[in-house]
Amino acid sequence: MTTKRPYVGKAKEMHPTDDPSILMMRFTDDISAFDGKQVDSLKGKGAINAAFNQVVFSMLENEGVKNCLIDQVSMSPTDYRVIALDMLPVECIVRNFSAGSFCKRYGVDKGMVFDTPTFELCVKSDELGDPFIAPNAAVALKMITNEQALWLEFECQKINKLLTKFLGDTGLTLVDFKLEFGTAVADGEWGNVKWKKGDLMLGDEFSPDSCRLWDETGVSLDKDRYRQSLGDVLDGYNEALELIR
Ligand code: TMP
């Protein structure tokens, strides 16, 4: 049974629909940083991120990366039908350059290029501060299976290649990003999209909230503008959106 109450996250809401295999994902104007310690509302952010996510998830689907996005709920710039997933309790982070917590953790400067992109698994927990976890510890704690651990790294590296090329062609440098995955809660079908209960796929979203993107002069067009007060947040998000569509 699906609950009839929406799940309200920090930047999105998940609403049940009449079909238990489908949810409605609403991108909200809320923005947060530092595990929810800094929060604000930026009018129009939800619509920008929803559009950004649609461009990226559609490109990934066309390239064979199964994901939760079904289609836009008519007339609404922020609402999308998505496949209902049981989310894995981990976040997957891929880095092409040093930035953010990587620099703090290892005492290195921002902007080092990685010949081999790094893959990190983190526990999804604001309370614990989303700590880094070794894949075999996540398996030992039964957060994911061993097969899922191997698949997640493979899939994230594949997605990174696709995103780096796609965004790079528009002049954007993909510095790092976070992805989340889950398994379909039930068999389902919408239009010509079909899925089976248990199918493991990309969920959540990809937007300037969940990645670092630099323009050709190295200016951040992502949530670092908010975290570090680097300039008008939505001007940066809009510029990134205009470049990719
Ligand atoms: P980090 O450098 O703070 O570890 O972040 C790495 C990438 O993951 C960066 O693109 C931002 C993204 N991210 C999220 O989307 N949500 C989070 O909760 C965290 C910690 C990072």
pLDDT tens for 85-143 read 999 999 999 999 999 999 999 999 999 999 999 999 999 999 999 999 999 999 999 99
Indicate if ligand 1 lies below 6 Å from the C-beta of 9. no
Q: Is the pTM of this model over 0.85?
A: yes
Relative to the CA of 99, which ligand 1 atom is closest? 2
Predicted local distance difference test score (pLDDT) of residue 30: 98
Measured from the Cα of 211, ligand 1's closest atom is 10
> Mean of the pLDDT values across residues 15-19?
98
Res 153: pLDDT: 98
The 10 Å Cβ neighbour count of residue 17 is 14
User: Mean pLDDT across the stretch 29-52?
Assistant: 96
Q: With 70 as the cut, is the pLDDT of residue 1 above it?
A: no
Which of 122, 172, 176 most suits a substitution to test ligand 1, by most atoms within 8 Å of the C-beta? 176
The band of 7, judged by pLDDT with boundaries at 50, 70 and 90, is very high
All residues at 6 or more sequence positions from 86 whose CB lies less than 8 Å from its CB, including other chains: 182, 183, 185
Residue 186 has pLDDT above 50, yes or no: yes
Atom of ligand 1 minimally distant from the CA of 222 = 10
Q: How far is the CA of 178 from the centre of ligand 1 (A)?
A: 6
Q: What is the predicted pLDDT for the residue at 51?
A: 98
Residue 178 CB less than 6 A away from ligand 1:
yes
pLDDT averaged over every residue in the chain: 97
